[in-house]
Amino acid sequence: MRIERQQLGIFAALIVMIAVFAMLQYWPMNSRAHAIEQVKAVQLSVGMKMDEQAKKLPTLKNLYAQMQAQVGNYDAKIPTDRKLGAFLQEIADVMNKHNLREQVVQPESEMQADTLMCIPVRIQCKGTTDQLFEFFKSLQKVERLVRIERVQLKNNLEMDGLVAMDARVNIYYRQSKQQGGSL
C-alpha cells in the first residue's frame, strides 16, 4: 500500500506540475500566438489593400495628368495686379477679329471674392450666332481666367440675321503685397 500511496503522490505532483506548466507557460504562449495570428491577418489584409491601390496608381496618374491638361495652371491665369486695360484691349481685339458690331465693354465696380479681387465686365455687341459662338471660343483661350456669369441673346428687331448679345463676365487678380486690403 505504501507504494500505491507513493505512486499516488508522484501522480498528484505530476498533475500539479502539468497544471503549473499549463498556467505559466502554455496559456500565455497560446494567447500570444493567437494575438500574433490576428496581427498577421490584419497585416495581410493591409498588404492586399495596398496591392489593389498600387494597381490603381498608374490609372490615377494618367487621370491626374489629363485633369492637369484640362485645368491648366490657374495661378498663371490670375495676375497679381489688375491689368484691366490689357484685358479690355484683348477683348476688343477678339471682338474685332470676329467682326462683331456695336461693341461695348464696360468694367463695373470691383469686389473681393475670397483671396482674389473680382472685376465684373459687361460686354455688349451684335453679330451672327456663328460670330458670337466663335467669340466665346476665343474668350476661352485668352491668357487670363474669365468666368462667364450671364449671357443674354436677343433677336434683332430689324430681322437682318444679327443677334444682340449682353454678357457679364468676371475677371480676377491677386492683390500684390503692397496693395494690402485696399480697393
Residues 36, 84 within the same domain: no
Q: At what angle do helices 129-140 and 84-97 cross, to 10 degrees?
A: 140
Q: Is residue 37 very low, low, confident or very high in pLDDT (cuts 50, 70, 90)?
A: very high
CB 79 within 8 A of CB 174: yes
Residues 47, 94 within the same domain: no
User: Ramachandran region of residue 151, left (φ > 0), alpha (ψ -120 to 50) or beta?
Assistant: beta
Which of the listed residues 22, 37, 72 is the one where a domain comes to its end? Answer: 72
pTM of this structure: 0.57
What's phi and psi for 157, nearest 5 deg?
-65, -25
Residues 90, 148 within the same domain: yes
Mean pLDDT of the chain: 84
Residues 84, 66 within the same domain: no
- State the Cα–Cα distance between residues 140 and 57, nearest whole angstrom: 32
Secondary structure (3-state) at 117: strand
Which of the listed residues 35, 55, 72 is the one where a domain comes to its end? Answer: 72
What mean pLDDT do residues 28-43 have?
89
**In the chain, % of residues over pLDDT 90:** 37
Residue 179 belongs to some domain of the structure: no
What mean pLDDT do residues 141-165 have?
86
> Residue 83 maps to which CATH number?
3.30.70.60
Residues 93, 159 within the same domain: yes
What mean pLDDT do residues 16-37 have?
83
- State the Cα–Cα distance between residues 108 and 101, nearest whole angstrom: 21
What mean pLDDT do residues 135-161 have?
86
* Residue type present at position 169: V
Lowest mean pLDDT across 15-19, 43-47, 56-60, 99-103: 15-19
Geometric angle at alpha carbon 48, from 46 and 52, rounded to 5°: 115
Question: DSSP letters of 34-66?
Answer: HHHHHHHHHHHHHHHHHHHHHHHHHHHHHHHHH
Q: How many domains does the chain have?
A: 2
Distances (CA, A) of 54 to 29, 46, 151: 36, 12, 46
Residues 112, 149 within the same domain: yes
Geometric angle at alpha carbon 155, from 153 and 160, rounded to 5°: 135
- State the Cα–Cα distance between residues 133 and 16, nearest whole angstrom: 96
pLDDT tens digits along 83-130: 888 888 999 999 999 999 999 999 999 888 677 888 899 999 999 999
What mean pLDDT do residues 161-180 have?
80
Strands of 82-127, DSSP E? 101-107, 111-113, 116-127
Is 183's pLDDT higher than 60? no
Residue 182 belongs to some domain of the structure: no
Residues 82, 157 within the same domain: yes
User: What local confidence, expressed as pLDDT, does residue 178 receive?
Assistant: 53
Residues 15, 50 within the same domain: yes
Q: Cell match 497544471: residue?
A: 19
Residues 157, 86 within the same domain: yes
Which of the listed residues 45, 72, 99 is the one where a domain comes to its end? Answer: 72
Residues 68, 104 within the same domain: no
> Helix, strand, coil % (nearest 5) of the chain?
55, 25, 20
User: What local confidence, expressed as pLDDT, does residue 149 receive?
Assistant: 92
* Residue type present at position 158: E
Residues 100, 169 within the same domain: yes
Its domain, for residue 117, covers 77-173
